[in-house]
């Protein structure tokens, strides 16, 4: 400990006193030690020596440790007391501790003395500090009532006091108004207050009250009350708990006030922010869909038209390229029409249409024909159970396109690469399964990052790590959810569930 400790030692054997002094020094206890050998010296020391702790041998001629302890208490000296004795029975140990001793040490085990002294003084100081804190709080509570009464004159506050032991409440007039009790003569009760709490808030309020009574939190909560006409009001309450010396809660006293207008304003603000966030997300999705869906047909048109500059190109090849340009232009036109449809119609329900899965896959197969051929990749599908979904087509198109192009990108070179897409009908759900035999990834290692933005698991493959993030976002926008299962060098399966229309 940092401060020098004043130790009063009652010991009639000089050798034992010296051993105790040495053990304290050895244990690093910075102390001023006063040794007294009899009852009268002990009495005088209690008056003139401000001891922080008393150490006492048990058996002194015509004096004992129990008498020394009682003498201390009669003199109103409240410091730790440690018995040091040659022998100790269990019965005597229990009695001396019951009388108020803080610890006991056997003389042939003095090595524990330094830690016993430090511990006893540390506990004593802690108790003293807590006692002072309780006294301070009690003084604050005495003046709190007066201050709260003044506060109610300038604000719409209600003052309350709860006697925890008798479970009785005291309210001022403001509390009756806050809880919408019309009869001011009716004595408030704990049960009557509980009856006005909103059913969804009761559990929370009970929990917060108990935590405050246990001294774990400051009581400062918001909750709702319901009047007899089922009108809901938002209130806030804050209070202080008063305990006795044994930390048993005696009462709570505090104030309450109405925050209905503030809560209503906050809810409106949150709703506006939520709507703005949703609009921003939709705009980001719209921008991404445009860039992805337009890329392939534009690339096909550029590629085919570039080849057509060759004057020696056979007529048959030229005709094929013209057809390719035409088909790509039609696809481009369809995509632009879909985008215009989203922009022109604000009602989300009108933006939806019946989309056939098989037709969607064929469109993507045509758009990516060169990519599929170059990678020797095949697309298989089975939509015999269900082949359509009422949704926003551009979003579903983008989902299919991303998952198919991902499977092509991460295909294996040592197998015949393919993706199999099939649909299932399960109760009120439409399920889509995208299963490939590509390189896959370690799901246990990366499960938290699969659909994260800019998350990539194969650094030697091109990409920005946006595809799966967009897939998840688009699936959720049209009311579905997506999960994934994957193993390295075995493939990946995406499961998408939509609630059937």
CATH number at residue 40: 3.40.50.2300
Does the pLDDT of residue 434 top 90, yes or no? Answer: yes
Most confident of the ranges 289-293, 359-363, 367-371, 446-450: 359-363
Q: Are residues 331 and 450 in the same domain?
A: no
Q: Are residues 213 and 324 in the same domain?
A: no
Give pLDDT, residue 33.
92
Number of domains making up the chain: 4
Q: Are residues 398 and 489 in the same domain?
A: yes
Q: Which is more confidently placed, 21 or 136?
A: 21
Q: Which is more confidently placed, 467 or 493?
A: 493
Give pLDDT, residue 148.
56
Cβ contact 352:390 at 8 Å: yes
Q: Are residues 374 and 457 in the same domain?
A: yes
Give pLDDT, residue 300.
81
Q: Is residue 170 part of a domain?
A: yes
Q: What is the domain-level CATH number for residue 451?
A: 3.30.565.10
Per DSSP (E only), the strands in 37-127 are 53-57, 59-60, 63-64, 81-85, 103-106
Q: Is residue 138 part of a domain?
A: no
Average pLDDT, the chain: 84
Measured distance CA(80)–CA(124) in Å, rounded = 7
Q: Is residue 141 part of a domain?
A: no
Q: Are residues 277 and 250 in the same domain?
A: no
Give pLDDT, residue 302.
86
Q: By percentage, how much of the chain surpasses pLDDT 90? A: 33
Measured distance CA(75)–CA(45) in Å, rounded = 11
11-33 pLDDT per residue, tens: 999 998 899 999 999 988 988 99
Q: What is the domain-level CATH number for residue 279?
A: 1.10.287.130
Give pLDDT, residue 336.
75
CA atoms within 13 A on the CB side of 293: 27
Measured distance CA(232)–CA(447) in Å, rounded = 43
Give pLDDT, residue 263.
83
327-363 pLDDT per residue, tens: 888 877 777 765 664 554 344 444 788 999 999 999 9
Last residue of a domain, one of 350, 383, 406: 350
Averaged over 151-159, what is the pLDDT? 70
Averaged over 108-126, what is the pLDDT? 88
Q: Is residue 230 part of a domain?
A: yes
175-215 pLDDT per residue, tens: 888 888 877 667 888 888 888 999 999 999 999 999 999 99
Tokens of 15: 């050798």
Q: Which is more confidently placed, 115 or 145?
A: 115
Of 266-270, 329-333, 339-343, 433-437, the one with minimum mean pLDDT is 339-343
Averaged over 154-158, what is the pLDDT? 72
Q: Are residues 357 and 473 in the same domain?
A: yes
Q: Which is more confidently placed, 349 or 275?
A: 275
Does the pLDDT of residue 93 top 90, yes or no? Answer: no
Cβ contact 59:85 at 8 Å: yes
Could you give the 3-state DSSP secondary structure of residue 375? coil
Of 165-169, 284-288, 489-493, the one with minimum mean pLDDT is 284-288
Last residue of a domain, one of 258, 291, 311: 258
Q: How confident is the model at residue 393 (pLDDT cuts 50, 70, 90)?
A: confident
Q: Is residue 149 part of a domain?
A: no
Q: Are residues 230 and 254 in the same domain?
A: yes
Q: Is residue 446 part of a domain?
A: yes
Last residue of a domain, one of 115, 131, 147: 131
Q: How confident is the model at residue 250 (pLDDT cuts 50, 70, 90)?
A: very high
Q: Which domain holds residue 234?
A: 155-258
Q: Are residues 481 and 385 in the same domain?
A: yes
Q: Are residues 440 and 450 in the same domain?
A: yes
Does the pLDDT of residue 288 top 80, yes or no? Answer: no
Burial of 344 (0-12, 13-18, 19+ CB in 10 A): exposed
Of 148-152, 318-322, 394-398, 489-493, the one with minimum mean pLDDT is 148-152
Q: Which is more confidently placed, 81 or 299?
A: 81
Q: Is residue 450 part of a domain?
A: yes
Does the pLDDT of residue 155 top 70, yes or no? Answer: no
Of 83-97, 323-337, 387-401, 441-455, the one with minimum mean pLDDT is 441-455
Does the pLDDT of residue 424 top 70, yes or no? Answer: yes
Q: Are residues 17 and 85 in the same domain?
A: yes
Give pLDDT, residue 344.
43
Does the pLDDT of residue 1 top 50, yes or no? Answer: no
Q: Which residues contact 51 (CB under 8 A, 6 or more apart)?
A: 6, 7, 8, 34, 45, 77, 79
Q: Are residues 367 and 494 in the same domain?
A: yes
Q: Is residue 147 part of a domain?
A: no
Q: Are residues 160 and 250 in the same domain?
A: yes
**Measured in whole angstroms, how far is the alpha carbon of residue 461 from the centre of its chain?**
37
Give pLDDT, residue 371.
84
Q: What is the dihedral of CA 28, 82, 108, 110, to 10 degrees?
A: -10
Give pLDDT, residue 97.
84
Measured distance CA(179)–CA(235) in Å, rounded = 9
Q: Which is more confidently placed, 139 or 49?
A: 49
H or E element in which residue 335 lies: helix 315-344
Q: What is the domain-level CATH number for residue 193?
A: 3.30.450.20
């Amino acid at each position: 400990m940092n401060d020098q400790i004043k130790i009063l030692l009652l010991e009639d054997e000089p050798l034992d006193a010296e051993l105790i002094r040495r053990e304290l020094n050895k244990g690093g206890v910075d102390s001023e030690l006063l040794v007294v050998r009899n009852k009268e010296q002990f009495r005088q020391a209690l008056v003139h020596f401000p001891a922080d702790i008393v150490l006492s041998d048990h058996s002194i001629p015509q004096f004992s440790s129990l008498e020394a302890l009682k003498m201390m208490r009669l003199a109103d000296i409240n410091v730790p007391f440690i018995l040091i004795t040659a022998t100790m029975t269990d019965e005597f140990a229990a009695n001396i501790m019951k009388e108020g001793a803080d610890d006991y040490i056997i003389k042939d085990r003095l090595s524990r003395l330094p830690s016993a002294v430090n511990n006893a003084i540390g506990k004593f100081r802690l108790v003293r500090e807590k006692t002072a804190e309780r006294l301070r709080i009690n003084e604050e509570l005495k003046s709190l009532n007066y201050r709260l009464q003044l506060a109610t004159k300038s604000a719409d506050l209600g003052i309350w006091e709860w006697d925890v032991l008798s479970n009785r409440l005291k309210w001022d007039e403001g509390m009756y108004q806050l809880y919408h009790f019309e009869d001011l003569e009716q004595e408030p009760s704990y049960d009557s207050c509980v009856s006005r709490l909103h059913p969804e808030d009761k559990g929370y309020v009970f929990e917060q009250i108990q935590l405050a009574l246990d001294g774990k939190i400051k009581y400062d909560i918001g909750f709702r009350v319901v009047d007899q006409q089922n009108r809901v009001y938002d209130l806030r309450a804050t209070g202080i708990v008063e305990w006795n010396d044994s930390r048993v809660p005696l009462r709570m006293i505090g104030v309450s006030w109405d925050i209905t207008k503030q809560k209503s304003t906050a809810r409106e603000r949150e709703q506006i922010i939520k709507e703005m966030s949703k609009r921003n997300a939709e705009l980001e999705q719209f921008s991404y869909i445009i860039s992805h869906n337009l890329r392939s047909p534009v690339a096909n048109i550029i590629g085919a038209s570039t080849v057509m500059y060759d004057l020696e190109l056979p007529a048959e090849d030229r005709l094929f390229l013209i057809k390719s340009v035409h088909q790509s232009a039609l696809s481009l036109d369809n995509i632009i029409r879909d985008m215009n449809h989203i922009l022109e119609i604000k009602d989300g329900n009108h933006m939806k249409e019946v989309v056939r899965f098989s037709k969607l896959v064929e469109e993507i197969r045509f758009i990516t024909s060169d990519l599929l051929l170059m990678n020797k990749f095949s697309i298989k599908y089975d939509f015999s159970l269900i082949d359509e979904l009422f949704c926003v087509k551009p979003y579903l198109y983008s989902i299919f396109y991303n998952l198919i192009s991902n499977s092509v990108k991460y295909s294996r070179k040592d197998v015949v690469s393919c993706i199999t897409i099939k649909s299932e009908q399960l109760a009120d759900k439409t399920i889509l399964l995208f299963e490939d035999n590509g390189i896959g990834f370690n799901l246990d290692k990366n499960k938290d990052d699969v659909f994260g933005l800019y998350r990539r698991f194969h650094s030697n493959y091109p990409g920005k790590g946006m595809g799966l993030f967009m897939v998840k976002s688009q699936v959720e926008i049209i009311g579905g959810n997506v999960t994934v299962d994957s193993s390295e060098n075995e493939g990946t399966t995406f499961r998408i569930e939509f609630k059937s229309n």
